[in-house]
Structure 1
């Protein structure tokens, strides 16, 4: 379902960029219009990207390109891209904490305690 939505948004963006006149477009259509056809690899990577792999939301192709190019990345004070190591280590620590909580208290609170009896 999400694949067809991705294909449809790409088709409308291409139509807006290649067929319609700029005077006929709304501000959103002007921003999302695509003039150039994406290559096969760009097309496939847009259709099967991780952001919309299972649940969505569907993104416009221009938003996807901005994500790939890193346009929205907030740079540090010295102009460099921030490292993902700190955020990754924090997520790893949280995962280990939750694993320890489940290992410690999992036997005390079995799933049958919260499951509905049918």
Structure 2
């Protein structure tokens, strides 16, 4: 009888953690989560899109606010919702308990922009 762990048990993957890291791999989603955390966990879509666009201008000055809003609406916010990190009502986007927990556990920070 072998005392070594079986190959099967050493390859078990926590799909929830994988999903979380996949969602957090994108800087735009991290910017959105950080902004929500800084604003008591919620913001209107327009407010969130403007804030994310403003944070990204230093990194990618060519991205227009409209492009940021479109990608948030069609790609990033749905992915955050599917992962259970945010939820959306007609008026607000809010962090969920899982989103709050992920932000407490993982060092997701955004460097403040320099003021001109």
Pick the TM interval, shorter chain.
Answer: under 0.3
Q: TM-score, normalised by structure 1?
A: 0.25
Higher relative contact order (CA 8 A, sep 6+): 2
Higher share of residues assigned strand = 2
**Which has the greater radius of gyration?**
1
